[in-house]
Amino acid sequence: MFDSHKHLLSTKMKSLLFSACLVGGVSLLTSCDSQSSTTDDNTAQMDKNTAASQTDTSAPVTTDNNEIAIDKEPITTETSPPDDQMVGPSGYQKLSFGQVVTPALLADLGLTKQESDNEQCYYVSDPKQYYMDQAYGKRASVLYQVIDGKVALITIRDPKTPFYTGVHVGDAVTAVMSAHDDSLTYEVDKYAVDGDFYNLIANVNFIVTGDADAGTLLKKDDIKLNNANDTLPIQVEYHIKGGQKLSNNTISETEWTVENKRALQGEVESIDIGIPEAIYLVEGCS
Q: Sort residue 148 into left (φ over 0), alpha (ψ -120 to 50) or beta.
A: left
91 touches 80 (CB < 8 A): no
Beta-bridged to residue 199, according to DSSP, are 187, 239
Which residue, 264, 129, 136, 132, is CA-closest to 198?
A: 264
Terminal-residue alpha carbon distance, the chain: 140
**Residue pLDDT tens, the chain, 286 long:** 444 434 433 444 444 434 443 344 434 334 444 444 444 444 444 444 444 444 444 444 433 333 333 333 445 545 566 666 899 999 999 999 999 999 999 999 999 998 887 989 999 999 999 999 998 899 999 999 999 999 999 999 999 999 999 999 999 999 999 999 999 999 999 888 889 999 999 999 999 887 776 667 788 888 899 998 899 999 999 999 999 989 888 999 989 999 999 999 999 999 999 999 999 987 888 6
Residue 50 to residue 44: CA distance in whole angstroms = 10
pLDDT at position 137, please? 94
Express each pLDDT in 211-252 by its tens digit: 776 667 788 888 899 998 899 999 999 999 999 989 888 999
68: which DSSP letter?
Answer: B
Beta-bridged to residue 62, according to DSSP, are 68
**DSSP string spanning 138-178?**
EEESEEEEEETTEEEEEEE--TTS-BTTS--TT-BHHHHHH
